Structure 1
Amino acid sequence: MKILIVDDHTVVRDGIRRLVEALPVTEIGEAESPSTALAAFRKLRPDVTVLDINLKNGSGLDVLRRLRADDPKARIVVFSMYSDIVYAASARRDGALGYVSKSAPSDELLVAIEKALEDQPYVDSETAALMAENENARGSVADLTRRELQILHMLGDGKSLTEIAQGLGVAYKTIANTSTRMKEKLGVERTSDLVRFAIETKGGRMLDHGED
């Protein structure tokens, strides 16, 4: 089994390397940036890629999309500092099989890797509980498009609809119409409810500006 580790911190890569050595691994590759991740992926052709969502020089979600575009069958486990249902939903929408928070017990990452080898999805227990709570309370963020997830994060950062439209370079009416669809999907009636939901589910950083 070959594993690729993409993380911009050497100490984290070393920790993951030591952890996955408990598995029947034949080769471990490493990359520290978006610019080196695709080259390392193409060279190693790993069975599973462990990908940090928060890279210094770019978005892990963007790297995820690039790897999946290069190989639609790529098995990717996102390793994130956030127990965040919006990030988890975004990663799953972009094709990640696993999502594990760095605050989760280390054995959960091993489980996610083993599940990925079987082409089975896995989300760490804390994030999964948050997702289940969200789904039980109202519509699920899993129903949102990538652009809607991005807008949700921007609302959570305190941006108004006007500021979001300006930041994304689109008409206010486009954002207003999108927010209406988001409210329908999430089961809320007012924009203030949508903002409150965004704050409750916010992981602390904005998603990259990929389109749906």
Structure 2
Amino acid sequence: MPETTRILLVEDHPLIRAGCRRLLAQRRNFDLQEADRGLAALELNKRHRPDILLLDLDLPDGNGLDLMPQLVADNAPVRIIILSMYGDSGRVSRALAKGAKGYVTKNDDPAAILTAIDKVLEGEVYLGQTVAQALALTQLQPETPGLAELGEREKAILDGLGDGKSLAEIAADLGVTYKTVANAAGLLKSKLRIRTSAALVKFAVERKSA
């Protein structure tokens, strides 16, 4: 563990930032920088090159997950720990797939942040108690027939439906026509053995919140 550990906290809520600041102040070797926006986080990440980056997912100017590739590209050694209100298995899996080394929810014991930093600096992956329980429950549930067969575009459409987006909004996000998305939604129903569009939307929402 380095003598000084540079930490960048990316969080837009002042009260949560203040709480994290007090918690991290317990360690004299922590050098803390703070950002309340994604753009500020990108700039501080390049300038100060933190060892640990505590990243909220819901920022005023974007999604923390979308920032991760650029943060790592600008500072390859950085270890990202997600600090979020949400601990559902879908978000956790996507964060880990993008390279996060830790995931702590704001419902966990505050000391979990310090534990996460210690474990991640030692080269381990750390999941807070809330997240670990969510993943364990997901692994106990049988996989929906056909889910493993979906392509990347189909998964993106399913994610969009789970976020409450219309087919037109999903088409705009993906840069394709409405007809392309509508046809893909029809194939999704067939692959997942779901009869109606309403049932498909219900499945997508439940999958995102699982």
TM-score range, shorter chain: 0.7 to 0.9
For 1:14-163, list aligned pairs within 5 A. Answer: 14-139=18-143, 150-159=156-165, 161=167
SS in 2 for 1:36: helix
CA gap 1:182/1:22 in 2 versus in 1, 3 angstroms: farther
For 1:181-200, list aligned pairs within 5 A. Answer: 188-190=192-194, 195-200=201-206
Number of residue pairs aligned between Structure 1 and Structure 2: 200
CA gap 1:124/1:183 in 2 versus in 1, 3 angstroms: farther
What is the rounded CA distance, in whole Å, between the counterparts of 1:148 and 1:41 in structure 2? 34
Stretches of structure 2 that go unaligned for 5 or more consecutive residues are none
- One-letter identity of the residue aligned with 1:52: D
The residue aligned with 1:164 is: 170
Stretches of structure 1 that go unaligned for 5 or more consecutive residues are 204-212
Deviation (angstroms), 1:160: 5.5
- 8 Å CA contact 1:6–1:52 kept in 2: the answer is yes
What is the rounded CA distance, in whole Å, between the counterparts of 2:103 and 2:38 in structure 1? 19
Q: Deviations over 1:150-169 (max 9, x none)?
A: 43332224446565335533
CA gap 1:77/1:9 in 2 versus in 1, 3 angstroms: same
CA gap 1:116/1:143 in 2 versus in 1, 3 angstroms: farther
- One-letter identity of the residue aligned with 1:165: A
Deviation (angstroms), 1:64: 1.7
RMSD, aligned CA: 3.2
Q: Deviations over 1:101-126 (max 9, x none)?
A: 11122122222211211221122222
Deviation (angstroms), 1:6: 0.8
Q: Deviations over 1:25-47 (max 9, x none)?
A: 34111111111112211222211
CA gap 1:93/1:15 in 2 versus in 1, 3 angstroms: same
What is the rounded CA distance, in whole Å, between the counterparts of 1:143 and 1:74 in structure 2? 34
What is the rounded CA distance, in whole Å, between the counterparts of 2:55 and 2:67 in structure 1? 8
What is the rounded CA distance, in whole Å, between the counterparts of 1:142 and 1:7 in structure 2? 34
| TM value normalised by structure 1 | 0.77
What is the rounded CA distance, in whole Å, between the counterparts of 1:85 and 1:50 in structure 2? 19
SS in 2 for 1:202: helix
SS in 1 for 2:113: helix
Deviation (angstroms), 1:51: 0.7
SS in 2 for 1:153: helix
- 8 Å CA contact 1:183–1:190 kept in 2: the answer is yes
Q: Which moved more, 1:16-25 or 1:162-171?
A: 162-171
- One-letter identity of the residue aligned with 2:121: L
What is the rounded CA distance, in whole Å, between the counterparts of 1:27 and 1:95 in structure 2? 23
What is the rounded CA distance, in whole Å, between the counterparts of 2:169 and 2:49 in structure 1? 42
| TM value normalised by structure 2 | 0.78
Point out the structure with max Rg over C-alpha. 2
SS in 1 for 2:139: helix
What is the rounded CA distance, in whole Å, between the counterparts of 1:151 and 1:21 in structure 2? 43
What is the rounded CA distance, in whole Å, between the counterparts of 2:93 and 2:45 in structure 1? 24
